[in-house]
Chain A
Amino acid sequence: MARSRLTPTLMARTVLAWAVALLLFFPLAFLFLTAFKTELQAIAVPPELIFSPTLESFREVHTRSDYLLFAKNSVITSVVSTLLGLLIAVPAAYSMAFFRGPRTKDILMWMLSTKMMPAVGALVPVYVLAQYSGLLDTKLALIILFMLSNLPIMVWMLYSHFKDIPPEILEAARMDGANLWQEFRRVLLPLGMGGMASTGLLCLVLSWNEAFWSLNLSSAKAGTLATLIASYSSPEGLFWAKLSAASLLAIAPIVVFGWFSQKQLVQGLTFGAVK
């Protein structure tokens, strides 16, 4: 590749890439800065970029809220819902990718269409169901809902990953006498690992960030970190610094996690459903 010279196009592209990256990073950077300000500094216009940082807001969040309870709920609900989702989505995507029927495409479209309904439209029925089954304010209710709302995306992503695997390889395994489990374990799993990992990671992030159902179905026991953030908004009083500190504490684990798994994530997204 003879691309080492700095051509005007390359320069323009680099500048554009940096601009987009900075634009995307800006809210996060602002959140980070605000978390270390006092409430008075946080509302200053124009915003103060140079200030002496304080941990006051973090201290306040720490004394007022049981961070570990919320964090534990977030970890359990997002991990379990992702694993459960994979358990259902992998066989579904497998059958659709390798044993296509005349209606496969329609089924896939229908699955995706369920994502088009705003969640609040289903709030009352879901709330009543949860209440009748005694699941209000339980982690199980959130796990089920996170899983269900992520399933269409999971099936779609896995479907497009599996479609890239030549069906002949699976056929050959079957010819050699492999049963369904062996076919899955020895052929599909190693070949589709990248796709499954990136699907799982994306759903983990989506579940972690989910706020609507967590806010509406939990109260004192099952709240996730999203509900912790929401509790710091105030109708009468200044709250930006404390809200930022709570947000920072809530996203920190998943940002670190995302940083370490960014290779899989990017790969999954570029090779996956949205290519």
Chain B
Amino acid sequence: MKQQAFLGLALVAALSLPSTATELVIVTVNNGHMIEMQKLGKYFEQANPGIQLKWVTLEEGVLRQRVTTDIATKGGQFDVMTIGMYETPIWGKKGWLQEIKPDAAYDVDDLLPAMRNGLSVGGKLYAVPFYGESSMLMYRKDLADKAGVQVPERPTWTQIRDLAAKIHDPKNGVYGICLRGKPGWGDNMAFLSTMVNTFGGQWFDMSWKPQIDSKPWRDAVGFYVDMMKKYGPPGSSSNSFNEILALYNQGKCGMWVDATIAASFVSDPKQSKVADKVAFAQAPTMVTPKGANWLWAWTLAIPAGSQKVEAARKFVTWATSKEYIQLVAKVEGWHAVPTGTRKSTYATPEFQKAARFAAAEKMAIDSANPNDSTLPKSPYVGVQFAAIPEFQAIGITVGQQMSAALAGKTTVDAALKASQFAAEREMKKAGYYK
């Protein structure tokens, strides 16, 4: 492996003639699939001798800040950027991103429809999905069996609460259920939005009025806070994906509803003590199945200011192609391929065999529709967010209120009232209504 990497590097060095090579600067986050892409970049460089890849890895928050500054000032520092499903439609509409027109060999129809819709504005594709995710339930089969409970394929929140009560055993270090509580629009609010959706709520009604003080919000948040106080681990209000992953992998969580990507971590014996004991089901529902599980994608996009559009297009279509997925499978095995993007991946028998969570993940992604994710009609796109620029600030403020309610620093009603007030002010200021 090392020798291979060395040979690859030597080859790259030999091929990188400074006079002719186009240098592509790619900015990305430090997630497993991106690290893999970085390692396999040498294959792209071999096939395209005129292009040299330069990688910049940043922390997620810093990446958003850097990319926004660079786009807003037309800095032109990056030729390819990793952005999320929230930014893509907003930036695409503003003309900050190059439209991506892949050739026939790319087979754009093979992309999962949910993903393609979420990344398009007015039928134009502004970013290509590198890996996608939804949310689902991960639970300890051994504990559920011990409690004599058969978890259905699509459980309800009431069933989940009952099971949490049965397996909650803090004396032995096992908590009934672990859920996100750390404030942030991409942290606790990503999860809570799906819970509000399935309880029949929404962020804004058709006249863009915030609905945070409505009954579905009170029901959902009340249910969540009550359940977490009774059957959650201590300090839930500071837990997000990584914190819960750490707890889960040590066998301290009976259940966890979170990103489908977690499935590959919790079932990996190298990092999880409970790898052979996890089972998967769809995200729990309540009043409606609509919007019960989220939809997210890490995508590759090309900023409108890039001088190297052609080379950048070549790279983003390579990294999200069927061939790339085959390449990862060949080098690392089918368990390591980026999922949630293409129908063909899920149709591959080798993949189905290697990834126990494949079927549940595909079902979750297919059932998420960012254009229709709430029971009452909503004016916004997005399941666990509303793809408008103001949402980020609103999501953070509401997230802080919810986290405070979970920590017991305020009541659910007071938190919802304060959230509604803040959201109304923000939306009025932005001119959505008077």
Which of B22-30, B222-230, B361-369 binds A? B22-30
B242 near A237: Cβ-Cβ < 8 Å: yes
Most buried by B among A40, A137, A219: A219
What residue in chain B is nearest A137 (Cβ atoms)? B77
Give chain B nearest CB distance to A132 CB in angstroms.
9
Interface residue from A124, A230, A236 paired with B73 (Cβ < 8 Å) = A124
- We find that the number of chain B residues with CB closer than 8 angstroms to chain A is 44
B250 near A124: Cβ-Cβ < 8 Å: no
A221: B residues at CB distance < 8 A? 54
B272: A residues at CB distance < 8 A? 40
Majority secondary structure, A binding face:
loop
Interface residue? B35 (CB, 8 A): yes
* Docked complex Cα distance between A60 and B388 (Å): 39
Interface size class of A (residues with CB under 8 A): 20 to 34
With A220-B54, A233-B59, A236-B261 as known contacts, state yes or no: A127 contacts B29, CB within 8 Å: no
With A127-B75, A215-B58 as known contacts, state yes or no: A238 contacts B241, CB within 8 Å: no
B55 near A236: Cβ-Cβ < 8 Å: no
B250 near A45: Cβ-Cβ < 8 Å: yes
User: Interface code B1-30, partner A: CB below 8 Å = 1, 0 otherwise?
Assistant: 010010000000000000000010101011
A238 near B55: Cβ-Cβ < 8 Å: no
With A43-B249, A237-B242, A238-B246 as known contacts, state yes or no: A131 contacts B75, CB within 8 Å: yes
A44 near B250: Cβ-Cβ < 8 Å: yes
Interface residue from A127, A233, A234, A239 paired with B69 (Cβ < 8 Å) = A127
A235 near B246: Cβ-Cβ < 8 Å: no
Interface residue? B56 (CB, 8 A): yes
* Docked complex Cα distance between A40 and B35 (Å): 19
A238 near B38: Cβ-Cβ < 8 Å: no
A43 near B25: Cβ-Cβ < 8 Å: no
Interface residue? A232 (CB, 8 A): yes
Give chain A nearest CB distance to B120 CB in angstroms.
24
Interface residue? B283 (CB, 8 A): no
B56 near A235: Cβ-Cβ < 8 Å: no
For chain B residues 34-64, which have a beta carbon within 8 Å of chain A? 35, 38, 54-60, 62
For chain B residues 368-411, which have a beta carbon within 8 Å of chain A? none
Interface residue? B161 (CB, 8 A): no
A238 near B245: Cβ-Cβ < 8 Å: yes
A220 near B31: Cβ-Cβ < 8 Å: no
What are 14 A-to-B residue pairs whose CB atoms are below 8 Å?
A40-B271, A45-B250, A124-B73, A131-B74, A219-B56, A220-B25, A231-B30, A231-B59, A233-B60, A235-B29, A235-B31, A236-B32, A237-B245, A237-B265
